[in-house]
Structure 1
């Protein structure tokens, strides 16, 4: 008999809660169950098939008949619990098509909106204490101003092809390594940390990488490609997934015809190489956010609309990207293409019209 390796215990007087952070299940134990579990943790061979507590602990998955391998994390337990515990959003039914997604999402939104909303305003300030700022002016390069104004998350795409030139521009300015600054007066950079991107990175580590989803790119065979920033080049990793990508991304099938997308991953081994504490785990998400915004602004400047999500089946995406059992993990997905400019897909718009009529 074995103890499930994906557990942590919280004291909740008068008992304690055993939390399986991989399967998102919790069990509250009283004193008798807590004593028995402590004995089995000390010596799993004490398991007694005639002991009702032992059988219930086994049925709850706290004990396991077979040994469960825990990944060689390489970092501390707190970051491991957070990473594994936030994988794979619990979902009773993943929508099989865009119509199911529309109905399910609308029902969820209706349920949320039926509850009182939290206050969104700041504390009211006395008259005369606020300092009015001047209206924003155009930036020196007006293209950035326009990109900031025009950027929009869309869920309705034509499926039209994009060019390899556009893909190269997107990847280079998002994930590529830029040339050294001219006339730079910066202090010397440590060996191995000379590379720089257009977005900041915690510790200058560039811990995030990118995988290109190519579905309709002129001059490039469909598939999943790894982007190599050093060479500004691609290498094929896998063919496109079956079934369609939307099934892996929380049933959001409106993006099945996106011509391209990028999975942003984090090289956790780079982070824990420099930062041997849990707080550094935040830096991976912050960096992914920086890269996502850069991608969207570049895409908008190219005349493309964008869409992004963090909802996906982690294990399936890891396999798709060839990262199983790796210290590199997927965090985010961003895509772009030609769009009709609608924030919602046609199926959702039809459903909303039917509800309101």
Structure 2
């Protein structure tokens, strides 16, 4: 699977502003690049003379069986890349036998996305809005539509400085809006340098996201929904422990794809500390820079239950719709199976910390 070539084809298929919105990161994009590089810096120490005649990628996530530990992460505005948007992605995830995490900022309603892949496992990603009633309403809709978990994103209390979007004056094309929330009027972003421009999304974050979100909101969402709540955007062990004590059912190690705080630690480097802090009874997931089956092996060996994929899914959607996304997911599964065999591990449960060597 050549994801670099796939991204190139997606870039040709999209207009520059749409491509940059998906591909770009914050400021100088150091974290964006380091997310990929950090996995590459890790080296594998494979076992030999083990029976790998039958290799399985199957596992469970929050008790739900899946075909592989590769989940579709929450990404906004799928119809920016394909007219069938999140519905196409949902069908692909279902066909691949894995979980799709639907973004609050989806361009198709959470109910329609659920109906597009009825019976498939799905999680719903949510923010805490200044208007708590808006958050509560989304949660209630997600519960009614059969979503099985909530993913609370906690690293976007303010919008990162996404320079590509500023240069492009990024705004959604006419007729394309978030289906679950109203972007509302443009609100000045207090963190923007005067005269630096901005984007429609940054203005929405400034006017709608609650910068006063705290640990108390974990219990609030858990009680409101009755669903497990995973916290996405954690890079420190002490923060992970505080979230768990506050009621989190799982942790997603993430720096928002390098789109928020530039020079933040790469997720591959943050993962071991978070896993150690979370302990054996809390599932930890990771996203950011996963581009190969060997990256997945490294993540699981370091203690992750699974990985979430963002940009590669969008490139598949842009170039081939639902089938394009399924091809990406199937490609990850094939590469994971190969890497397991070459590491002498017949299943993902056989991946252990001693398979990974840190540094060169």
TM-score by shorter chain over 0.5: no
Higher relative contact order (CA 8 A, sep 6+): 2
- Which of 1 and 2 has greater Rg? 1
TM-score normalised to structure 2 length: 0.23
Q: Larger % of strand: which?
A: 1
